[in-house]
Chains A and B, each alone.
Chain A
Amino acid sequence: MKKKRIPASLPVLLLCLGAAALVIILFSKTPAQTLYYFFPGVAANRLYLGEMLNSLVLLSITGLAIVIAFNAGSFNLGGEGQVYTGAICAVLAARQLPDLPGIPGILLLILCGTAGGALLAFVSGVLKALWDVDDLISTFLLSSGVAKLIDYLIAGPLSDPASYLITTEPLPDKYRLPSLLIPSPFNISFILPLILLPLFHYYLNHTRQGYELQMTGSSSSFARHSGLNMGIYQTLPLTISGALHGLAGSLVLTGTYFAGIQGLTSGLGWNGIAVALIAGRKVPGILPAALFFAWMTQGSRIALLHSDLTLELGAVIQGILFLLISSSVLRLKFKNRPAGGSPS
């Protein structure tokens, strides 16, 4: 009876690749070279590959964060701010506790970052559970506001006078995750998605709480009238989502930049949404989706460096990519938010 279905996002992805190739062939004087750097060139050396893998790790964590919220019927648009909060919490933890030994120190930093992101999203969850505040709006507004505050902290009270960048003081070496593919930032954190993805897949599909969470997401009216604890299912998934974003933020700090540079999130939160949508809102799809996304962004960056692909053209390709993906974003968004169960 069961038919093998083609993932809904596959045609979109092929269209993305086709569009990117088309733009390159049309506008590049050396299309073969550009295409090489865009696609296989990513795996050509340790730096490029490591950078790609590092963003794969981070994207699969933020993608997972969005998928979990999705499954409970929540829409977390505040990923960007939660990642940023995670990073700044880790910075603050490092400043407060400079004397810990390396491994417990790093763990503590990551823990603080995770908690920071979780707290921010928890606020939105509580607002939703208590006063039915729309989570899409509240996560977005909260995160935008907090991001400005963090910008200020980095530029002001926490800024590093010795640096020409707008940044906090660099982390001490012992608090840094060592690279596994020098000189790239690819580090030990790659283990995290390998643990987290199966863990949450199991949680969502094979536990009672996961079942109830998904019922809440599928029909909140039915879940509510069946006596499921809406308080939990309106706050917990958002909180987990925030925690994962915070985790990604602390990893960016401890593994990639080693200092609280302004704007270090570089779209990690937004791209998590794209990854979740390519993945079809299902955990098993996250890793391939994140790989696709990481590869495409890294490919355009490398092609920019090595070929006649201009900055504008690179932006055009990324623009097409986003447009195609977000067109499916809109479709899923409305599917995800059925009309409320209020009596008319």
Chain B
Amino acid sequence: MSPAPTGLLKIEHLTHIFRENGITPCSDISLEINRGEILAIMGENGAGKSTLMFLISGFMKESSGRIITPEGDSREARRLLSGMVHQKPILAGNLTVLENMILSPEKGFFRKETLKQEIQAVQKHYDLPLDLDSRARSLTAPQIQRCELIRALWKKKELLILDEPTASLSPTQSEELFELIFRLKAEGKTILFITHKIHEVMKIADRIAVLRQGKLQGTACREEMSPAEISRLMIGEDEGPEYLENSNVSSAPDSGEMPVLELTDIQLSELGSPRLKKISFQLFPGEILGIGGIRENGLIYIEDLLSGIIQPDSGFIFINGENRMPLTPLKMRRSGISYIPADRLSRGADPESTLAENISVLKRQRGRGSYRARLIQRARIFIKEHGIRGDAEQQVKTLSGGNIQKMIVARELENRPPLLIVSEPSWGLDFKSRKRLHRQLIQAARDGIAVLLLTTDLDELLSISSRVCVLTEGVLSIIERNEEQWNRNYIGEKMTGADRV
């Protein structure tokens, strides 16, 4: 062994059991974290990554086992040691960014101005611009993340925990984050980096720890582990590289065919700033048209436009050759269009209602007797057919994210819609669910459904689309299917506008 790394944190036989449902997200985990290293914690959704981090940061109390810091093994010591940047950050929306940052027990009195100057110094030091006086609710996801990061740095936390930090970042933003992480490491900070993206880990991690179903599968230095090995540890079997599906869906539609969906010269502005500029595209049966881009910068507007909750300033939307403006959610559904929204728990499902109620919302049940009884009866069959894990009368919020998406996808595809609008379908899905979903989408296209895929995930975009467009600053550009253009780097640059610098 080369110069013995000094330990920062020692985890001994850590187990956590949720008392309400008996689920064990962490079971008998023993792990040492060295000072000044970047340790990647990998695992699929539900592998126990987040729970482990909550335990380390003292946010939750373990059921058994110990976490030993240099200052002892109390939760308080852990809290002081670590700063966590959450995957779904929690900020008080009506307070300013500054107020959110200083919102924690400060000893005695303090002057807001002094604190602000301190924080600004931190920002300057690390080059992390963010308006401290804006309201937290107006922040975008990357900004919220930055806010939590600045706070942790200001508090001089030795251990930084980043929970899937790149989930909402563009490739360039991710690169910037990685640079920052390297810099922090050089300054002696210890970083726990949670992710399920293997290529990120290979790039930045010193050591890798893999979790599966609450158990630590193994830890190793990066050099000692191959991507295939990590993937095998994560999912239990080798599923091969991600690019596998590369679709053979027929492209190049006949010129005489009627497009299922056609947008012409759509312009949209919000609060005076243009969001979509002269967007036009056609979508034909049997193809998957993928539109990539950064969500806040335009994809969200295309999604809202087509789901009928916002109207363009000018331009037309034709469905099956008919002008359907102004489009409303009701009109869209009456035209038989299916929609798998990015915001699944608000638009795609109602977590408070039962599985049966969620499944049956699109299709009116015929027959006699109690409507509820009919819903439940049908849902039982549906659940069995589609392999959803849950009971018809179970509340949706008790299901896992992957299971909920499975239910939504099955429901939306059930009626063989002419057009399927899909937005960020694999967000939060693990490897297997993601692959199944991609197969389902490709199969849907083969069955003659026109699929519009809106995604920020470039791998997804390239692996299943028949045609690809990229939305940059409100302008849509077509990606040709050739060596030069049909790859991550080209699209990544296109997406962030780096190609035009």
Which A residues form the contact surface with B (CB < 8 A)? 205-208, 210-212, 214-215, 218-219, 221-231, 341, 343-344
Given A208-B364, A208-B365, A219-B352, CB of A225 within 8 Å of CB of B371: no
The CA-CA distance from A224 to B309 in the complex, in Å, is 9
Asked if B350 is at the interface of the complex by the 8 Å CB criterion, the answer is yes
Across the interface, B372 reaches (CB within 8 A) one of A211, A222, A226, A343, namely A211
Give the contact stretch, choosing among B122-130, B239-247, B331-339, B457-465. B331-339
0/1 per residue, B340-376, Cβ < 8 Å to A? 0101001111111100011011101100001111010
Across-interface contacts of A207 in B (CB, < 8 A): 371
The CA-CA distance from A219 to B358 in the complex, in Å, is 11
The CA-CA distance from A228 to B350 in the complex, in Å, is 14
Across-interface contacts of A211 in B (CB, < 8 A): 357, 360, 371-372, 375
- Among residues of A, the one whose C-beta sits closest to the C-beta of B351 is A219
Asked if B329 is at the interface of the complex by the 8 Å CB criterion, the answer is yes
User: Chain A's nearest CB lies how many Å from the CB of B355?
Assistant: 13
The CA-CA distance from A219 to B347 in the complex, in Å, is 8
Which secondary structure characterizes the binding site on chain B?
A: helix
Across-interface contacts of B360 in A (CB, < 8 A): 211
A343/B371 in contact, CB under 8 A: no
Given A218-B353, A341-B347, CB of A205 within 8 Å of CB of B372: yes
Given A206-B371, A226-B362, A227-B333, CB of A219 within 8 Å of CB of B339: no
Number of residues on chain B facing chain A (CB within 8 A): 33
User: Chain B's nearest CB lies how many Å from the CB of A14?
Assistant: 26
Given A208-B364, A230-B330, CB of A221 within 8 Å of CB of B347: yes
Across-interface contacts of B300 in A (CB, < 8 A): 343
Across-interface contacts of B365 in A (CB, < 8 A): 208
User: Chain A's nearest CB lies how many Å from the CB of B168?
Assistant: 13
Asked if B76 is at the interface of the complex by the 8 Å CB criterion, the answer is no
The CA-CA distance from A223 to B372 in the complex, in Å, is 17
A225/B357 in contact, CB under 8 A: no
A229/B357 in contact, CB under 8 A: no
Asked if B304 is at the interface of the complex by the 8 Å CB criterion, the answer is yes
Offer 21 A-B interface pairs, CB within 8 angstroms, sorted by A.
Answer: A205-B370, A206-B371, A208-B371, A211-B357, A211-B360, A211-B375, A215-B350, A215-B353, A215-B361, A218-B350, A219-B351, A219-B353, A222-B346, A223-B350, A224-B309, A225-B339, A226-B333, A227-B330, A227-B332, A230-B330, A344-B137
Asked if B307 is at the interface of the complex by the 8 Å CB criterion, the answer is yes
Across-interface contacts of B372 in A (CB, < 8 A): 205-206, 211
The CA-CA distance from A343 to B360 in the complex, in Å, is 25
Across-interface contacts of A228 in B (CB, < 8 A): 330, 361
The CA-CA distance from A231 to B328 in the complex, in Å, is 12
Across-interface contacts of A215 in B (CB, < 8 A): 350, 353, 357, 361
User: Chain B's nearest CB lies how many Å from the CB of A294?
Assistant: 31
A227/B371 in contact, CB under 8 A: no
The CA-CA distance from A84 to B137 in the complex, in Å, is 42
The CA-CA distance from A206 to B334 in the complex, in Å, is 24
Looking at B307, B332, B339, B353, which has the most chain A CB atoms within 10 Å of its CB? B353
Across the interface, A221 reaches (CB within 8 A) one of B304, B346, B358, B371, namely B346
B346/A224 in contact, CB under 8 A: no
A222/B371 in contact, CB under 8 A: no
0/1 per residue, B133-168, Cβ < 8 Å to A? 000010000000000000000000000000000000
The CA-CA distance from A208 to B367 in the complex, in Å, is 11
The CA-CA distance from A205 to B370 in the complex, in Å, is 8
Across-interface contacts of A231 in B (CB, < 8 A): 330
Across-interface contacts of B351 in A (CB, < 8 A): 219
Across-interface contacts of B375 in A (CB, < 8 A): 211
B341/A225 in contact, CB under 8 A: yes
Across-interface contacts of A223 in B (CB, < 8 A): 350, 361
What 6 new A-B contacts, CB under 8 Å, besides A215-B353, A219-B351?
A208-B371, A219-B352, A223-B361, A228-B361, A230-B329, A341-B347
